[in-house]
Amino acid sequence: MSYTLLPGTRAPVRVWTDPATIEEQAARQLRNIGTLPWVDGVAVMPDVHYGMGATVGSVIAMRQALAPAAVGVDIGCGMSAVRTNLTDADLPDDLGPLRRAIEAAIPVGFNAHDNPVNPHRLHGLPTAGWSEFWSGFGDLSADVGSLETRATRQMGTLGGGNHFIEVCVEQGGPAAGQVWLMLHSGSRNIGKELAERHIATARKLPHNADLPDRDLAVFVAGTPEMDAYRHDLTWAQQYAARNRAVMLALLCRVLRSAVPTARFESPISCHHNYVAEERYGGVDLLVTRKGAIRAGRGDLGIIPGSMGTGSYIVRGLGNDDAYNSASHGAGRRMSRTQAKKTFTTADLATQTAGVECRKDAGVVDEIPGAYKDLDTVIAEQSDLVEVVAHLKQVVCVKG
């Protein structure tokens, strides 16, 4: 489908879904963003829903400004996936031990490694730049020096919420049955701490005093506050990418232990909470993707659904109207609180039948029924991406 315009905004807010289906709280957020004087335009993805700081599933292009709350607290959150040489016939009949082995190798929730992971001891993990990366911790402008030990121990950990690790099987086509590994995580506690400090700073700046939403407080180019934020943001995005790379290497090691013949292709990785410098219409812009992936022509991306509905590997079509973007997932159709009130553990067991995963009250808010229909979301962005592969999980690890 092509986009429609959300009425009542200064800058164009282009929507890749039926605007009538957008919850009013999210629509209000989008209109508020579209009134900001720094905004060039907003692209709204079909997984759109209300979010803290800014609408999830939105792409905000600004001229010489950034809103740190729009980027959010999980800086650099994103996806990684790798195709293996295995088929589903190569996997163990009982997938329970494989799930437990993954959970033992990669801490989930608030847990961390007892000792920092040594990247030089992980097969397949690029080892370049690690010393320089960690030396940059001392150059962070925010006061987070006391958190360095925690940050090193959380490198290579999953976290909680909607973060996950999966073993998937490709559906249909000539590669049907092919096994993939996939994971979703970000910059862990250190990204949150950095974001919260900069968000607090932005809210105190005089030029943000009369905004319609305090979460839209911005830094502007040429100021020390903007320079400090962009420095820390860049480092946190690197942390998130390296975090996923370490986890993927650990995950590959677990699968090789279970199936020694396992081999792996080059991984696909993409941020979906981040900032990039890009040029559109001859104008240099700072593009914030809040729950959206880059989908420039030929870019490979990952669009997951929920813990029972599978995911898609996609290739970008390079649509400038969407700032070369696509959705980052199916998107929630109900809040976590509403999901817990609506569904039971029995519902969770039914909706995740055939998937080796947690089926307890602690993950009911992640039940597939709390998410939008993934196939509809994919269909609504047919001018943004093309499908490369459809995957269905057989193992799902949640925090």
Q: Residue 1 above 80 pLDDT?
A: no
- Rounded to the nearest 5 degrees, what angle is found at the Cα of 276, between the Cα atoms of 228 and 180? 120
pLDDT of residue 399: 84
Q: Per DSSP, what are the bridge partners of residue 290? A: 58, 273
Mind listing the pLDDT tens digit for each residue in 45-73? 999 999 988 999 999 999 999 999 999 99
Residues classed as catalytic: 328
Distance from chain centroid for Cα 64: 24
Which SS3 state, helix, strand or coil, does residue 132 take? helix
pLDDT of residue 123: 92
pLDDT grade for 302, boundaries at 50, 70 and 90: very high
Q: Per DSSP, what are the bridge partners of residue 287? A: 61, 276
Q: Per DSSP, what are the bridge partners of residue 15? A: 4, 44
Q: What is the DSSP letter of 6?
A: P
Mind listing the pLDDT tens digit for each residue in 26-44? 999 999 999 999 999 999 9
Residue for token pair 């589903």: 88
Global pTM reads 0.96
Strands 39-49 and 13-15, bridge-based pairing: parallel
Q: What is the DSSP letter of 264?
A: B
Percentage of residues in the chain having pLDDT higher than 70 = 100
Q: Per DSSP, what are the bridge partners of residue 190? A: none
Mind listing the pLDDT tens digit for each residue in 318-362? 999 999 999 999 999 999 999 999 999 999 999 999 999 999 999
CA dihedral 252, 270, 242, 155 (to 10 degrees): -80
| Segment 76-84 mean pLDDT | 98
Mind listing the pLDDT tens digit for each residue in 145-194? 999 999 999 999 999 999 999 999 999 999 999 999 999 999 999 999 99
